[in-house]
Amino acid sequence: MMTTSDRVSDRKALRRELTDLALVLMAERGTMIGKADLVAHTRTSRARIDELFPEESDLFDAAVEQWYAADVAIMEEVIASSLPVQRKFFEFFARRFRIEVERFRQDPALFALCVELGTERFEQVRGYIDLADHYLSVLIAEAQAEGYLPGLSIDRALTLINQMVVCYTSPQMLMLLSERLSEDKLACIIDTVFAGLAGGDRGAIGVTGLRVAS
């Protein structure tokens, strides 16, 4: 007799299988796939698909969840590791960058489609961006406990660091600059963050006017 646990496991497995199929069909067609498409390409009934994905948007949510699953696992693994905090920062960004570059190179058209769909449905993607910011804030607090990033609130440090590494975290930027991005450049950015990122005016804040040097 099938137990409740078995039924839950089978449900999760079928949901994942159908989500994988939706991603394959998206790659083939160059557009978002709906529940009707899954019915047409499988032996699964519409009633069963509606049970797994009650709303049409649930299919997109499931695709996003699978897209980000590896990224979430990386962030959690890095946070929990015993690496020095500076190395944690590098791994936090570099490992996710590596995944995105591979995805882009394997299928640039599918990658671009996913980016377009994510932009159109940003509110459904926002949770994963917020989660990455949360984990980065944890790393910032750890770095500050060791004396790095002085004079900065966590939010301020978060904003500055995100702006410094945006080319390695933004899929839109990756599509534009992939050939110019590399892990060794990212490492230089992280080293620079730890070498001098701090609060306060250290000479770069703008002045009211300029004068010719004499």
Entry pTM? 0.85
Residue 214: pLDDT band (50, 70, 90) is low
Angle of CA points 27, 76, 169, to nearest 5°: 50
Digit-coded pLDDT (tens) for 95-149: 999 999 999 998 888 889 888 888 888 888 888 999 999 999 999 999 999 999 9
The pLDDT score that the predictor gives to residue 26 is 83
The tens digit of pLDDT for each residue in 152-208 reads: 999 999 999 999 999 999 999 999 999 999 999 999 999 999 999 999 888 887 767
- What is the distance between the alpha carbons of residues 39 and 138, in angstroms, rounded to a whole number? 43
Q: Which residues contact 171 (CB under 8 A, 6 or more apart)?
A: 100, 104, 111, 114, 115, 118
Residue with the bigger pLDDT between 142 and 213: it is 142
Quick check: helix, strand or coil at residue 195?
helix
